[in-house]
Chains A and B, each alone.
Chain A
Amino acid sequence: MGRKLLLAHENVPGIDRLDVYRAHGGYASVEKALKSMKPEDVVEEVKKSGLRGRGGAGFPTGLKWSFLAKPEGVPRYLVCNADESEPGTFKDRYLMEKIPHSLIEGMIVSSYALGSNTSYIYIRGEYFYVSRILEKAIQEAYEAGWLGKNILGTDYSLDLYVQVGAGAYICGEETALIESLEGKRGNPRIKPPFPAVAGLWGCPTVVNNVETIAAVAPIINMGGEEYAKIGIGKSTGTKLISASGHINKPGVYEIELGLPVEEFIYSDQYCGGIRNGKKLKAVVAGGSSVPILPADLILKTAKGEPRLMTYESLFDGGFQSGTMLGSGGFIVMDEDTSIVKNLWNFTRFYHHESCGQCSPCREGTGWMEKILHKFLEGTANLSDIDLLWDIQSKIEGKTICPLGDAAAWPVASAIRHFKQEFEEIAKSKKFKDVSHYERLHKPAMA
């Protein structure tokens, strides 16, 4: 355990510069792909690798690429989704900031595979300074001939641009991202048609997450089959996990998929256990949208098997007792955390970020937030728990895009696993905030 493919050189001084990156094996995959492979060979290697989308949905990347329509005379586009906005997720920022060339390298190989001659990196507006880092790296790559016309003397040409967003979580949804890139409101499109058929400016488009694209470089270097040997079953390769919350060592960790959750939380190599000697209460394992699990269910499945950091193991038990790997935003909560208050915080987030196109999400997210706020005020009734349950069930699966589901699942899982917390407040008509910073998560601030 512990192989690193993306962050192997994270601590090399100057790794953000082309010369240093190159000295550590950078751009080898571009040479290999452009000089000795046909585009379809690259797609084939990615298929063999079993790489799955690292943005959250976990859809097989090779398969997604194979859906791309290729009508004659119509340009195709690759768009990198660097709109990382899922609460609890900060791995893409870390990767782009530390090793920007790893994304550019992946973009060149992936664009070549897909036949895109103009590709875009859509980065969230808040990461403006990261866009500067990327632009500088792109400039270096152009000057060294890795981008532009006839790369490495081949027929293949590629222009790569960075586009900034301006503050909208929903633009992480691929069709909203495309709309935003077209200079419009970030309203998700109604599908079909899917971007693979009609995406950016109506042309066939693939949208992939930063980490997904960066992983293409090591896959080409080592071969898809070798990559697939890392991990367990259909969870192949390595994954960047953003660890945050009440842990001793928050940060971005590259893990081999299959690592036991318990080891990830408690080992000094990773999170280093819970802060201040507290007990673990709950974990949101894959970014705010995935179901929250109490300590016992995140460490072991309902069947009593150790829970592993894989797509399958985390989902073991379905929505009853499982969760999802999602974007790998691993948020840890200690015993003092109020699940109700945390849920209100998440729900407020989804309310704020709803685009407002479809009625269940537009109206339902705000309604749930208001009801949850009653719990914080101590004015909620027991019937409000049932009402919350009913509202989330009427949002889930009824909306244009997955934001509705993302807003519903945290509510459903919090009620499913922590109902007594809601009931206590509703019965006592008192809300005691147990997570104030006075409880010394950060003693320096007291």
Chain B
Amino acid sequence: MGAQIHGTLEFNAEKRKDIRFSEEALKEIEKIKSRYPQGKQKSALIPVLHIAQAENDGWLSPEVMDYVASLLNIQPIEVFEVASFYTMFNLKPVGKCVIEVCRTSSCWLLGAEDIIKYIEKKLGIKEGQTTPDGMFTLKTVECLGSCGTAPVMQVGASYHENLTFEKVDKILDKYRAEGRRRNYTDLDYENTK
């Protein structure tokens, strides 16, 4: 599950004032809202939260959720309820690249556990943590639907399949060299088989 936050959130009214999505994002949000019948704009919430997360360094702050609520004309709690239900939404800050290693069923049978341990050792962090330079966050996730090419991990929109330690090295080194943020919404995904 995403970051566990018990009870209530700290809200910063000053930060909230500064929140504004890019023109491109706002245009995309309007396009998404037009897919539903009149009065059913709440349906856009999950796609909009994906955009919001990409606009906000990969996580959903209370201020961003409040902003999203205003965009869709719903109560902030409705956003919080949804954001905390789905594992792809991060409620705490994350690194530029969130590494999500599948830990279920066939990936597990074929060494996901060892891949996780290897990445932990390589990056010097535990599952759920972020490297001190803010480059990587390591998460474990449930079945990614890539069991025939297990073990597998996802970074942003990209799937990396048939993982070995060497492949992990290569992939992570490449991400580090590029140094840019990876989002689910990226159009330039680079799957490796």
Contact = CB atoms under 8 A, between A and B. Distances in A.
Interface stretch (A44-52, A181-189, A362-370, A415-423): A181-189
Contact of B105 (A88, A127, A167, A181): A88
Contacts of A242: 147-148
A375 interface: no
A442 B109 contact: no
B148 A244 contact: yes
Nearest to B166: A444
B104 interface: yes
Contact of B148 (A75, A85, A243, A342): A243
A16 interface: no
Contact of B50 (A166, A182, A436): A166
B13 interface: no
A181 B42 CA distance: 9
Interface stretch (A7-15, A34-42, A246-254, A387-395): A246-254
A89 B147 contact: yes
A88 B105 CA distance: 7
A86 interface: yes
Interface string A233-261: 00000000011111000111000000000
Nearest to B115: A445
Given A337-B109, A437-B111, A183 B148 contact: no
Interface in A282-332: 284, 288, 329, 331
A342 B45 contact: no
Contacts of B111: 437, 441-442, 445
Interface in A160-185: 161, 163-169, 180-185
B109 A166 contact: no
B11 interface: no
Nearest to B46: A166
A435 B112 CA distance: 11
Nearest to A356: B85
Interface string B42-58: 11111101100000000
Contact of A167 (B45, B113, B141): B141
Contact of A86 (B40, B143, B165): B143
A421 to B, nearest CB: 16
B47 A164 contact: yes
A242 B106 CA distance: 11
B120 interface: no
A437 B142 contact: no
Contacts of A129: 157-159, 189, 191
B42 A185 contact: no
Interface string B138-153: 0001111111111000
A346 B165 CA distance: 25
Contact of A128 (B106, B150, B157): B157
A352 interface: yes
Given A168-B86, A245-B109, A345 B104 contact: yes
B187 interface: yes
A84 B158 CA distance: 17
A352 B89 CA distance: 15
Interface in B160-178: 164-166
Interface in A319-359: 329, 331, 333, 337, 342, 345-346, 349, 352-353, 355
A163 B47 contact: yes
A139 to B, nearest CB: 13
Contacts of B87: 166-168
Interface in A247-284: 250-252, 284
Contacts of A168: 85-87
A432 interface: no
Contacts of B114: 436-437, 445
B71 interface: no
A76 interface: no
A98 interface: no
B143 A87 contact: yes
Most buried by B among A90, A124, A349, A353: A90
Contacts of A132: 157, 187, 189
Given A90-B148, A126-B88, A353-B142, A185 B108 contact: no
B164 A87 contact: no
Given A331-B105, A349-B105, A90 B47 contact: no
B81 interface: yes
Contacts of B185: 128
Contacts of B37: 75, 118, 201
Given A129-B189, A329-B147, A352-B142, A161 B89 contact: no
A183 B82 contact: yes
B86 A167 contact: yes
B159 A245 contact: no
Contact of B142 (A75, A92, A169, A181): A169
B141 A166 contact: no
Contacts of B137: none
Given A166-B50, A445-B165, 12 more contacts: A75-B37, A87-B143, A89-B145, A129-B158, A129-B159, A166-B87, A169-B142, A183-B44, A246-B109, A345-B108, A346-B105, A349-B105
Interface of A: 75, 84-90, 92-93, 118, 120, 124-129, 132, 159, 161, 163-169, 180-186, 201, 242-246, 250-252, 284, 288, 329, 331, 333, 337, 342, 345-346, 349, 352-353, 355, 435-437, 441-442, 444-445
18 contacts: A84-B145, A88-B106, A125-B184, A128-B185, A129-B157, A132-B187, A159-B35, A164-B46, A166-B49, A167-B88, A184-B45, A184-B78, A185-B82, A250-B150, A337-B109, A345-B104, A353-B142, A437-B111
Interface of B: 1, 35, 37, 40, 42-47, 49-50, 72, 74, 78, 81-82, 85-89, 103-106, 108-111, 113-114, 141-150, 154, 157-159, 164-166, 184-185, 187, 189, 191
